[in-house]
Structure 1
Amino acid sequence: MKYRVWHRTRYTYDDDVSNSYGIAYVVPRELPSQDVASADVRVVPEPSDASRRADHYGNVRTYFQVTDPHRELVVEATSEVDVREPSYDPDALAQSWELARPQASPGGVDAWRAVDFALPSKLVDQTPEAHAYAATSLVPGRPVGEAVTELMQRIHADFEYRKGATTVTTRIDDVFAQRAGVCQDFAHLTLSCLRSHGLAVRYVSGYLATTPPPGRERVVGADATHAWASVWLPDGSWLALDPTNDQWANDRYVTVAWGRDYKDVPPVKGIIYTDATNSTLEVQVDVMPMSD
């Protein structure tokens, strides 16, 4: 599927901002299952300094600095991508989950690189509760594809999707306590559960193309950013799981960036210098299918 993705982030302040430094992860990645035909990031006011380069994980990182005094800052990204449904080797999915751990499979493709995603990270603690919850699915000798898919299904069934239940700094224990969250929390929960058993799992950020209810027109700008998880397999592929929607990622998923957790790849983050006491944030996203 081909998509035109539009992502607009707007900050407003009640006093002048004299200096803004920002980093944005809003340019989709080039992947075997995803081609990026074009990508543009526009910042208003115009930055005095800007650059685009790959970060440690190969994500496209856009840096900007705005030095003109301003009370509004807009970061607008537009891209065109062609996404194909990923394919996986049945033999890799059939491998026992114990042998799909990078430290137990040093001969696996890029196992040394995957180890980084098996360790605890800033927002993803490997808690005893997460370990016990995952153990129900990770029975000895079970095929890794089957085991992690069942865990995804259980998270979808056991945890309620509820906006406002959590924040970007919510911890794993809080998600278990509330049994609710949003896509970021469900991705983090998947990471915690599987990493606590030695599997390597990425936090993936991007977009999910949605369709309006029957009889309703598309509302431009009403989509949202999305997050899911992907699990390393010994053949070097990564199985992408979306516990929020109880499915493997397919050709409706536009991948932007991945890291150890949300903190590595937020859409926009930065530092401002100002005496402002109040600010607002407005985000609009549109993922529009394109005809060939």
Structure 2
Amino acid sequence: MRYRVRHLTEYLYVAPVTLCYNMTHLLPRDTPKQRCLSRNIKVSPTPIYHSAGEDYFGNETYYFSIQEAHKKLAIEVESIFDIDEQDLPNQLSLQVPTCGELRQMLAYADTPELRMVKEYLLDSTHIHRSAKLAAYAADTFADEVSVLQAALDFTHKIFQEFTFDATATSISTPAEQVLEERRGVCQDFAHFAISCIRSVGLPARYISGYLETLPPPGQEKLVGADASHAWFAIFVPELGWVEFDPTNDLMPNGQHIITAWGRDYADVSPLQGVIFDGGDSQKLNVSVDVQRL
């Protein structure tokens, strides 16, 4: 399937910003099932300096600085890519290790791949392991259960027990609070799943990107109605990183478009940087369109 994604980000300031330095994670990366055919980024006002690059995790980055006064910053990214649907892993037909076997492999980590994966066992900016989170996930990720089956069951558990609520949390809401309130958005559910999985000694990483949304039957799709999305992946030997979407209770295949991945949201935030002046408040507008071609 071929898609065009248009992502528009606008910051409106109450007073002029005199200088800014920024880095974006808005240029989608290539993966074994996703090929970016073209990508274009436009920044207004025009940057005095800009540079494309790649971060530690292999994500596409774009640095820019603006040295003219401005009360509005606009960043528009348009990308076109092909996404292949693939046969999803089947835990019944594959020799997938159990959770106990994977924990044992990681304890010895006798290959470069396993040693690199251990990075995703640790705490990070938004991920903090705890006994409470481990207790919530312990039965699902029991030693005798296959890693794939456990991840599928845990994805379904979050979907069944948690409620999508865009007003309940913020980016800094800790996983234990999400557990107590059982509410949040895709970002919270991804962070929560990763926090629980790492708390039981298994590696998980955060994935950001887009999800194609379709209107109800008989209705036209609204411009700008799509949004950024977040999900997680767990490492399975021989298969690599296998993705799961607890917000929608499924394994991504075909309609999920990956922008970047890392330990958590802090590694892949769409825009981060420093501004000088700009007043004491700002307004953010984001519009996303995912279109099948």
* TM bucket normalised to smaller: over 0.9
Q: What's the counterpart of residue 114 of structure 2?
A: 111
Q: What pairs up with 1:57-136 in 2 under 5 angstroms?
A: 57-87=57-87, 90=90, 94-101=96-103, 103-104=106-107, 106-107=109-110, 110-136=113-139
7-16 or 94-103, which deviates more:
94-103
Q: Deviations over 1:55-86 (max 9, x none)?
A: 00000011111111100000111000111134
TM-score by length of 2: 0.95
1:155 aligns with: 158
Distance in 1 of aligned mates of 2:84 and 2:35 = 9
Per mean C-alpha deviation after superposition, the further-off stretch among 274-283 and 103-112 is 103-112
Greater CA drift, 185-194 or 105-114 = 105-114
Unmatched 5+ stretches in structure 1 = none
Cα distance, 1:213–1:230 mapped onto 2, change above 3 Å: same
Specify whether residues 23 and 57 from structure 1 end up closer, same or farther in structure 2 by C-alpha distance, changes over 3 A only. same
Residue identity in the other structure for 1:116: E
**Selected match of 2:218 from 212, 215, 218:** 215
How many corresponding residue pairs? 290
Map of 1:35-54 to 2, 5 A cutoff?
Answer: 35-54=35-54
SS in 2 for 1:72: strand
State the partner residue of 2:184: 181
Q: CA 1:271 to 1:12, structure 2 compared with 1: closer, same or farther past 3 Å?
A: same
Aligned counterpart, 1:8? 8
TM-score for the superposition, normalised by structure 1: 0.95
Task: Report how far residue 128 of structure 1 moved.
Answer: 1.5
* Secondary structure class of the residue paired with 2:100: helix
Q: Could you tell me how far apart the structure 1 residues matched to 2:124 and 2:113 are?
A: 20
Matched, 1:226 2:229: yes
CA drift of 1:236 comes to: 5.2
| Other-structure match for 1:203 | 206
Where 1:110 maps in the other structure, the secondary structure is helix
User: What secondary structure sits across from 1:173 in the alignment?
Assistant: helix
Aligned counterparts of 2:50 and 2:143: Cα–Cα separation in 1: 51
Identical residues among aligned pairs (%): 36
What is the aligned partner in structure 2 of residue 247 from structure 1? 250
Hey, what does 1:19 align to over in structure 2? 19
Classify the secondary structure of the residue corresponding to 1:95. Answer: coil
2:26 is paired with a residue whose SS is strand
Are the counterparts in 2 of residues 99 and 105 from structure 1 also a CA contact under 8 Å? no
Between 129-138 and 85-94, report the one with greater CA deviation: 85-94
- Residue 264 of structure 1 corresponds to 267
Matched AA of 1:77: V
Superposed displacement of residue 139, structure 1: 2.0
Residue 179 of structure 2 aligns to a residue whose secondary structure is helix
Q: State whether residues 111 and 236 of structure 1, in contact with CA within 8 Å, keep that contact through their aligned partners in structure 2.
A: no
**d(CA) in 2 for partners of 1:172, 1:56:** 25
CA-CA distance at 1:268 after TM superposition:
1.3
Amino acid at match of 1:100: L
Distance 2:49 2:229 in 1: 29
Q: Deviations over 1:194-237 (max 9, x none)?
A: 11111111100000011101111011111000000000111251
* SS of 2:197 mapped into structure 1: helix
- Structure 1 92/25 Cα, relative in aligned 2: closer, same or farther at 3 Å? farther
SS in 2 for 1:4: strand
Helix, strand or coil: the match of 2:25?
Answer: strand
Structure 1 residues 241-271: Cα deviation after superposition (integer angstroms, max 9, x where no partner): 0000000011000001001111110111221
**2-side partners of 1:159 and 1:235: how far apart?**
32
Question: Aligned-residue CA RMSD in angstroms?
Answer: 1.5
Say which is worse superposed, 254-263 or 127-136, in terms of deviation: 127-136
Please state whether the residue corresponding to 1:247 is helix, strand or coil: coil
Note if contact 1:93-1:145 (Cα within 8 Å) is conserved in structure 2.
Answer: no
CA shift in 2, pair 1:124/1:93, >3 Å: farther
1:89/1:278 Cα in 2 relative to 1: closer, same or farther (>3 Å)?
Answer: closer
How far apart are the structure 1 equivalents of 2:5 and 2:265?
Answer: 20
